[in-house]
Amino acid sequence: MSKESLIARSVLAMLLAASSAASAGQLGKPVIGPQLVCFKYNTFSLNNGERLTEVPGSSEEISVLVASSKSELRIAEGEVWADTKKDKQRILQRGKTSVYRIVSEPRYAIYDPLDYETNKLLIWLSGSALKGNDEDNAIVSRFKIEDAERVECQHQFTYSS
């Protein structure tokens, strides 16, 4: 490969990385609940006083930190994760969406087939807001897998994959 081709590929990679960071969501002003927040494949209802404090992302996933006065919840959405090998227990089935609690830690995996034949791991939930018991159902129930382009949201955070 020529030196010019390598330079062109490097420039293209930098441009793609820059556009991914922008789509990951540079917060111009705070996102404070109550309100519906959209991602590429899901929506999440922020409760009164909850706020998005971080929005890092890449071309393959988005991750946000939802903070309240008492705790934090990390929401990560992506299309490229392999199925988890950890022991899990299904705690909720809503339509085609399945929510699993990871047995060894207070962490959750949300699966949905989207337009595929088999379920895909789309969302990871973690953070101090999760206790690993039935109290977490109040958080998990605030998610909905849906085409975010068909929902009215004041804020949408996405990635390109």
Per-residue pLDDT of the chain (161 residues), as tens digits, is 544 443 434 333 333 333 333 344 456 677 899 999 998 888 999 999 999 877 766 767 888 889 999 999 999 998 888 788 888 999 999 989 999 999 888 899 999 988 777 888 999 999 999 999 989 999 999 988 887 778 888 888 887 75
In a domain, 120, yes or no: yes
What tokens were used for 58?
Answer: 């890449």
Alpha helices in 3-84, H assignment, sequence order: 3-25
In a domain, 95, yes or no: yes
In a domain, 92, yes or no: yes
DSSP 8-state class, residue 30: -
Q: How many domains does the chain have?
A: 1
| Torsion, CA 24, CA 157, CA 123, CA 108, rounded to 10 | 100
d(CA 140, CA 161) in angstroms, rounded, equals: 25
In a domain, 96, yes or no: yes
pTM of the full predicted structure? 0.77
In a domain, 161, yes or no: no
In a domain, 89, yes or no: yes
pLDDT at position 153, please?
A: 84
Q: Which domain holds residue 136?
A: 3-156
In a domain, 111, yes or no: yes
